[in-house]
Amino acid sequence: QICLSLVKLLFYLAHSPLGSIVLLDFQPRQFVMVDGNLKVTDMDDASTEELSCKEDNDCTLDFPTKSFPLKCSAAGKCEGINEKKNLFNAYRYFFTYLLPHSAPPALRPFLSDILNATGDLRYGINETVKAFEKVLHLYKSGLYLQKRPLLLKDYISLKGFRTVEGEDYKCWPSYSHLGCLLSVHSAEEAAAMCNSQSQCQSFIITQRRTWTGRPLALFQSSLTDLIPDANAVVYIKQSASSGKRL
């Protein structure tokens, strides 16, 4: 969410009515999340000036660990230097820390491609936005789940009940510090997640949603007290259903 919001912001800066805007003091502390969107808090160091040049050799974009040769345009300006500077700063301050973590395994190769392409400045901001939107579409639609074995058949479903939420085993990246609360596309994906966790014996799809509209599933290591709830379903591993409580 943070990275997608950032690239949309950089897309606007690259195509603003004032021209391409560069953030000269590009640091994480200069940004804040407002209603799920990343905002710049300080525009004092923003500039529309692009480096003047006479030849391509005048257009080297330097960073502490990398340098990039750029073209000198016919207008005597280093072509795309403001856009590329913003994008590489997004890569080194945000993408490298946020993109490799917590995505479903099937989506990680797509995020690695974005990471590598922005790190080498092979992608401009237009290509980067398209790549992020593709990953978001796959994530929201559940298309990344194709050709996976069906595991929900190994679970018993108890309709009209939910379990008591309490402190249980932890997992990463959980939305709750008390237990294992993860985003899922469907009960089928939740069953696959439960199977991959040795402690998990049951799960419930909660009514809570993430920013993409995906529901949160609560995974539990034991069958706690069941509470009547007309809108809920508890899914229990068949191997755990022979316990005395059930």
Query: b/e per residue, 138-158, with b = 16+ CB within 10 A?
Result: bbeeeebbeeeeebeeebeeb
User: Rounded distance, CA 43 to CA 178, Å?
Assistant: 40
User: Rounded distance, CA 101 to CA 111, Å?
Assistant: 10
Residue 25 annotated among the catalytic residues of the structure:
yes
Residue of 25, 42, 58, 120 marked active site: 25
Whether the bond into 64 is cis, omega within 30 of 0: no
CA angle 100, 103, 105 (to 5 degrees): 95
User: Rounded distance, CA 51 to CA 75, Å?
Assistant: 11
What amino acid positions are annotated as catalytic residues?
25
